[in-house]
Structure formats: structure tokens, C-alpha cells
């Protein structure tokens, strides 16, 4: 059965990988993000492969913009079957007592408040129709703090709590709720964290084969297409040589 899938933060990384995976599955895709030019490029790519695509350019931190964007959805796009709350980021790696106020606000506004905004806008329709699936992209960082990542870890711990709470709130409906918790994934995540310092970002992935956005998208697609009575509540996805948020066994990799 074809689904309408809305993905936040779909212009790169896990969000883009999810857009491509669900598109190949034959679903209708609503992609959102801040970069209109990049959204248009992805729309062109997916449409060329026969996918029905709708793009919405807005920042999930801006509640009014999110509300306005959802209000523009054509009737045939309004029944969202799968919401992938993917938009999120980490900024900085300083000790908590030396952190940047603006970085903190950006992480909290995106990772927590942005997720809440999209949940509030989309889930009431799912409950009314008695069907739907919310997939929140959390992190292994939500399970335990690591040096320099206290605020980011706190936001992802909040994602876990919000996901668990939503699952409780909709337990008397057919709506399913999933928390995906990736570990080390090679995307532009570290480049964003280090404010564009590409050399520093590259060191994060040295000596280990990290996950890819496709790896996480595979799990999201599986969860969304599990039998109706099966709820994939939470999945921790780690690279083979990663054991926890802070323990990664690095070695020289053969070409």
C-alpha cells in the first residue's frame, strides 16, 4: 500500500537517505528543509525516477513557518501516513561549563522543540484516522552522555522520553511510534558540529567503518512496513566497532 511520508531535514544525511528509500518503495514523499535550492534538486531527482514529491522549505525551529507550511498541503497530501522526525544537529564539543549559548539554543530548538512542533501538527490527523507511524531519529547519545556532548546528549535523551511518552499516549490507537538511535554515522553531522572545520570532522571517522545514512534509512523503511500488529519501538544501530557513545575501537583499515 502506497504511503504518504513526510521527512524533516531531508536535504542531506539520514533524511535524504530516507527520502530515497521510501521513494524506491513506491511511496509519496514530502521533503522539508531550510535549503530551497537543495530541495528543488532532490525533487527533480526523485521525480525523474517516477516518485510523487512535494517540497516544503521551512525551519522546524520556526513554529509559525511550520504551521503555515502544513496549511499549504494540497488535499491529496494532507493524510500523512509516516512522519520521520529527522531534523537535528549537534554543535560544538566544549565542556558544558564552556559551551556556547547560541549553540545550545539551536540544538534545543531543533532537536526538541522542532520535533514537538511537527508531532503536534501531524499526529492529531493520524489519531483521527486511526492509522499512522511516527519515526523519531534519536541517537545512542540519548542513552549516555559523553565528554563535550552534554547538551546534545540531553536533547537526544529528550527525544527518547518524548517518543516513549507519545507511544503511551497513542496506545489505544493503531498509530505506531519508533525511536531510531544511530551511533557513528558518516554524514555532514560532524562538519556541522565543528562549524565547517572539514579536517576536524574527518578525524571523527578515522580508523573505523561508520554507518551510512542508507543503513539508518533501511531500518526506518523496515519499521514502517512491518505488519500492522508489530511496533518496532526502539532500535539501537551501531557500527560494528562501536560499543557505546564514547567507546569506538579504531584501527587502520585496509583499502
pLDDT mean by block of 10 residues, the chain; 255 residues = 97 97 98 97 98 98 98 97 98 96 98 98 98 98 95 98 98 98 91 86 89 97 98 97 91 61
For residue 253, the model assigns a pLDDT of: 56
Is residue 3 classed as helix, strand or coil in its secondary structure? Answer: coil
Residue 198 pLDDT: 85
Q: Would you state the pLDDT for residue 194?
A: 85
Cell 503555515 appears where? 68
Q: Are 234 and 181 in contact (CB under 8 A)?
A: yes
Domain ranges, residue 58:
4-237
pLDDT on residue 187: 87
Q: What is the pLDDT of residue 29?
A: 98
Q: What is the pTM of this model?
A: 0.95
Report yes or no on 55 lying in a domain: yes
| 213 within domain boundaries | yes
Catalytic residue of the set 101, 152, 205, 222 = 152
Look at the chain and report how many structural domains it folds into. 1
**Running DSSP on this structure, what letter comes out for residue 12?**
S
Which pLDDT value is given to residue 254? 54
Q: Is 152 one of the catalytic residues?
A: yes
| pLDDT for the residue 189 | 84
Q: How far is CA 154 from CA 107, 143, 157, 191, 214, in A?
A: 10, 9, 5, 20, 25
Phi-psi region of 5 (alpha: psi -120 to 50; beta: other; left: phi over 0): beta
Q: Is residue 101 part of a domain?
A: yes
Amino acid at each position: 500500500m502506497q504511503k504518504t511520508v513526510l521527512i524533516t531535514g531531508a536535504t542531506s544525511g539520514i533524511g535524504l537517505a530516507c527520502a530515497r528509500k521510501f521513494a524506491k518503495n513506491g511511496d509519496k514523499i514530502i521533503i522539508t528543509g531550510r535549503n530551497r535550492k537543495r530541495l528543488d534538486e532532490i525533487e527533480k531527482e526523485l521525480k525523474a525516477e517516477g516518485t510523487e514529491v512535494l517540497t516544503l522549505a521551512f525551519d522546524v525551529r520556526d513554529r509559525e513557518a511550520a504551521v503555515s507550511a502544513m496549511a499549504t498541503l494540497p488535499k491529496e497530501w494532507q493524510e500523512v501516513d509516516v512522519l520521520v522526525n529527522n531534523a537535528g544537529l549537534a554543535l560544538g564539543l566544549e565542556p558544558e561549563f564552556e559551551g556556547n549559548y547560541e549553540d545550545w539554543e539551536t540544538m534545543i530548538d531543533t532537536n526538541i522543540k522542532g520535533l514537538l512542533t511537527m508531532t503536534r501538527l501531524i499526529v492529531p490527523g493520524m489519531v483521527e484516522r486511526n492509522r499512522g507511524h511516527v519515526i523519531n531519529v534519536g541517537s545512542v547519545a540519548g542513552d549516555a552522555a559523553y565528554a563535550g556532548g552534554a547538551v546534545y546528549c540531553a536533547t537526544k535523551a529528550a527525544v527518547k522520553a518524548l517518543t516513549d511518552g507519545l507511544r503511551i499516549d497513542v496506545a489505544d490507537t493503531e498509530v505506531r511510534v519508533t525511536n531510531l538511535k544511530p551511533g557513528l554515522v558518516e554524514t555532514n553531522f560532524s562538519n556541522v558540529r565543528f562549524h565547517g572545520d572539514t579536517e576536524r570532522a574527518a578525524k571523527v571517522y578515522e580508523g573505523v567503518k561508520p554507518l551510512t545514512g542508507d543503513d539508518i534509512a533501511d531500518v526506518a523503511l523496515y519499521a514502517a512496513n512491518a505488519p500492522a500488529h508489530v511496533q518496532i519501538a526502539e532500535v539501537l544501530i551501531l557500527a560494528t566497532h562501536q560499543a557505546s557513545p564514547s567507546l569506538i575501537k579504531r584501527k587502520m583499515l585496509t583499502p
